[in-house]
Chains A and B, each alone.
Chain A
Amino acid sequence: MSALPRADELGVIGCHVCSLVCRDTGMEHARCPRCHSSLHRRKKATYSRTWALLIAAFIFYIPANLLPIMRTVSVGDVDDNTILSGVVELWVKGSPDLAVIVFTASIVVPMLKFLALVTLLWSSHRSSGWARRQRAKLYRLVELIGYWSMLDVFVVALLTALVQFGLLSLVEPLPGVVFFGLTVVLTMFASMSFDPRLIWDGKESDD
């Protein structure tokens, strides 16, 4: 794969925002002369940032699952639900399709994101040449589905706003949903702070 030269080898550097190609002077804190956004060959401190955000997201993910996210009050019957108990309730009460959707959006997707990011970080750190193209695809997938993890938060926000019938029926958000939202936001930041070009760095051992 040495046929394709890298920008590094050519001594140039591209601006991420305005795509201006500059000379790589190797200076610290270089900025694009046109749009003044920061220039770097690889995202700066990408490993530490991603790790930090990922760990923070994971820490928040624990209370997000343990604490109830929503309280539904219907005719005096108070019901606090965590994400998982909500899924179970939906399944038991005869809406398995909805249960699957919520389960996927709230449990599977965040977990997959954690796993994917950890895999990417780990393999890139070790400059592994294993399945680089698939890893690149995985990264794009993680970026794509990131927004959809906010489904739960949207549901709670909508229900809280709409279901306000006093004694008859009431929906209140509980602290769990805040932690869940933080998790989603932090994973999104983590995936953003990861530089996919790292996948391609390292030894050209795969060919």
Chain B
Amino acid sequence: MTDDTKPGNADLPEPVVHRPRINASFVWLIPVLAALVGLSLVINAWMQAGPTITISFQSAEGLDPGKTPVKYKNVVIGRVTSVRLSKDRSHVTAKVSLEKSAEGFATEDTRFWVVRPRIGLGGVSGIDTLLSGAFIGADVGESKQPEDEFTGLEAPPAVTHGAPGKTFVLHTDDLGSLDIGSPVYYRRIQVGRVVTYQLDPNGKAVSLQIWVDAPNDQFVTKTSRFWNASGVDVSVGADGVKVNTQSLASVLAGGVAFQEPMGPHETAPADESAAFNLFHDQATAMAPPDGEPKYIRMRFDQSLRGLKVDAPVEFLGIPFGRVVSVNLDFDEKTQKFPVTVGAVVYPQRLGRAHEKLVALAKARGDDAQLSQMMGTLIGQGLRAQARSGNLLTGQLYISLDFVPKAPKAAYDPSVKPLEIPTVPGSFDKLQEQMADIVDKIQKIPFDSIGRNLDQTLGELHRTLKQVNGDVLPEFKTTLQSAQQTMGTANNALSPDSPLQQNLGGTLQELQRSARSLRVLTDYLGSHPDALLRGRKADPAPAPPAATQQGSKP
């Protein structure tokens, strides 16, 4: 070609020919390969991409777009892609792209909640999220209905779907210190927890849903009694102070306990979602059922200081009901301020007495209404009294009692609510009697008594003066003369007195006489003839005294 036209190149070396094994067009394999890799990535991503759902939460705390995972049983099933504030700024909406395998989670009854570290009185949860950051927990339901808008729960659900156990419904007046997750105890063993609670539609009570794990759910029988086991139950009885609580956690965080009642009862396990009453304490829970409450009203004419709402109403000492209202009234006729006391009573608490009364009323042909029976009882003297339950605190309770010699009271069984006639309470009576006594004491004429006493005392004074002036000197002289007399007597009796000497001489004479008499009797004893012949001459000089003596008597 060119080498012919361009001379002067002949001395240049000629290239050698060597055919390559591969064709240059193979280079297009590279972009094809790249495209294949890219395509496989796209297909992979598309295959793995599941549905995108939005979950609304109260706050986005812990939610990190692109990072926060959605986990079910600790397996990542999706990821939060964006977090936005709602249009009305009331909540946040998190967009979550679920994985293909988690398609089943985009159904109606799936629940989502944010797992954060939670430290409550009942325990600590979600500690692992302290380091790894919060994640969204999921719990799938059974529904097949697809859904892509969810409302996230603020707290983890107490029960995961499919867990064995049963839910029950408890009705109560107020929630107390219970909360979602509060424990449920059976014989002080935790067997479940509170799932949700909400006000009844009319706002007058609270309904709690509790969950009891299997196999302990079989212990919830149809007659089980539930009570609020929160706090400490301190009771002072005849045998000392008793402190009763379930566990330390329940003291602080509250809890529910249940037990079957004493005595014969049904042992069949309760059905799912069975409803029970939640009592305030164990004592009321275990008490026999109260039956239907009845409302009664009482009018007291005296002050009821110390009577509080919830004060007990007793029937012959049996707890019968409680006071629900204490209201001041005004009576235009008498210009007085009577107190109207409302109370609810539970006739069934009277037990057998109630049954018999009902039976009796039926037998008599009355209807078994409380009003009818009350009419009979009031006719027999049943009266309401406000009695002092505690002298120290002055607390009152209402006692329904038969008062002997009670004044007749008008009773109208048709009045609603039932009105029970009242009598003043025992304490009031005491007060009246005290007043009477004080009155009587006041009537005693202390003034005149005093005056009379004063006069009497003056007279006494005068008398004493007289005694001092006149009687005493004479008494003195009398005493003096008495003393003289005594002195004389003393002198007369002294050893050296003539009387004494005379007496001594006389006694000696008498002694001598006695001796000569003895000699005589002795001589006469030996010589009885001497009486007739006289005395013989003694051979021996005889004492002359003997003759003298013999002649003497």
A residues apposed to B, CB below 8 Å: 8-13, 20-34, 36, 38-39, 44-45, 48-49, 52-53, 55-57, 59-60, 62-63, 67, 75-80, 182, 186, 193
A48 touches B12 (CB 8 A): no
Chain B contributes a number of interface residues (CB within 8 A of A) equal to: 34
Q: How far is the CB of A26 from chain B (nearest CB, A)?
A: 5
B12 touches A12 (CB 8 A): yes
A59 touches B12 (CB 8 A): no
The 4 A-B residue pairs with the shortest CB-CB distance in the complex, in nearest-first order: A76-B131, A30-B15, A56-B34, A11-B6
- In addition to A31-B16, A31-B17, 15 A-B residue pairs with Cβ atoms within 8 Å of each other are A11-B9, A21-B12, A22-B12, A24-B9, A30-B16, A45-B24, A45-B25, A48-B28, A49-B27, A52-B31, A53-B27, A57-B34, A63-B41, A75-B131, A77-B132
A-B contact pairs, 16 of them (CB 8 A): A12-B12, A24-B3, A29-B18, A31-B15, A31-B16, A48-B24, A56-B30, A56-B31, A57-B34, A63-B37, A67-B41, A77-B131, A77-B132, A78-B67, A79-B67, A182-B34
* B38 interface residue (CB < 8 Å to A): yes
Cβ < 8 Å to A, chain B residues 13-68: 13-20, 24-25, 27-28, 30-31, 33-35, 37-38, 41, 66-67
B67 touches A59 (CB 8 A): no
Q: Which residues of B contact A34 (CB under 8 A)?
A: 13
> Which of B5, B30, B41 interacts with A52 by CB under 8 Å?
B30
B18 touches A11 (CB 8 A): no
B17 touches A22 (CB 8 A): no
Q: How far is the CB of A56 from chain B (nearest CB, A)?
A: 4
* Alpha-carbon distance between A21 and B12 when the two chains are bound, in angstroms: 7
Cβ < 8 Å to A, chain B residues 375-426: none
In the complex, residue of chain B having the shortest beta-carbon distance to the beta carbon of A193: B27
Q: Which residues of B contact A60 (CB under 8 A)?
A: 34, 37-38
* B2 interface residue (CB < 8 Å to A): yes
* Alpha-carbon distance between A142 and B83 when the two chains are bound, in angstroms: 42
In the complex, residue of chain B having the shortest beta-carbon distance to the beta carbon of A77: B133
Cβ < 8 Å to A, chain B residues 107-160: 130-133
B9 touches A12 (CB 8 A): yes
* Alpha-carbon distance between A39 and B28 when the two chains are bound, in angstroms: 22
Q: Which residues of A contact B19 (CB under 8 A)?
A: 28-29
* B489 interface residue (CB < 8 Å to A): no
* Alpha-carbon distance between A45 and B10 when the two chains are bound, in angstroms: 29
In the complex, residue of chain B having the shortest beta-carbon distance to the beta carbon of A26: B1
* Alpha-carbon distance between A79 and B10 when the two chains are bound, in angstroms: 69
Q: How far is the CB of A192 from chain B (nearest CB, A)?
A: 12
> Which of B1, B3, B13, B24 interacts with A44 by CB under 8 Å?
B24
> Which of A22, A24, A28, A186 interacts with B30 by CB under 8 Å?
A186
> Which of B6, B31, B66, B132 interacts with A59 by CB under 8 Å?
B31
Q: Which residues of B contact A23 (CB under 8 A)?
A: 3, 9-10, 12-15
In the complex, residue of chain A having the shortest beta-carbon distance to the beta carbon of B28: A52
A13 touches B31 (CB 8 A): no
A53 touches B31 (CB 8 A): yes
* Alpha-carbon distance between A186 and B37 when the two chains are bound, in angstroms: 15
Q: How far is the CB of B107 from chain A (nearest CB, A)?
A: 29
Q: Which residues of A contact B2 (CB under 8 A)?
A: 8-9, 11, 24, 26
B30 touches A9 (CB 8 A): no
B34 touches A59 (CB 8 A): yes
Q: Which residues of A contact B30 (CB under 8 A)?
A: 52-53, 56, 186
* Alpha-carbon distance between A49 and B365 when the two chains are bound, in angstroms: 116
Tell me which of B6, B19, B30, B133 has the highest count of chain A C-beta atoms within 10 A of its own C-beta. Answer: B30
In the complex, residue of chain B having the shortest beta-carbon distance to the beta carbon of A167: B131
Q: How far is the CB of A80 from chain B (nearest CB, A)?
A: 8
> Which of A39, A52, A67 interacts with B15 by CB under 8 Å?
A39
Contact status of A55 and B34, CB under 8 A, knowing A9-B6, A11-B9: yes
In the complex, residue of chain A having the shortest beta-carbon distance to the beta carbon of B5: A11
A33 touches B27 (CB 8 A): no
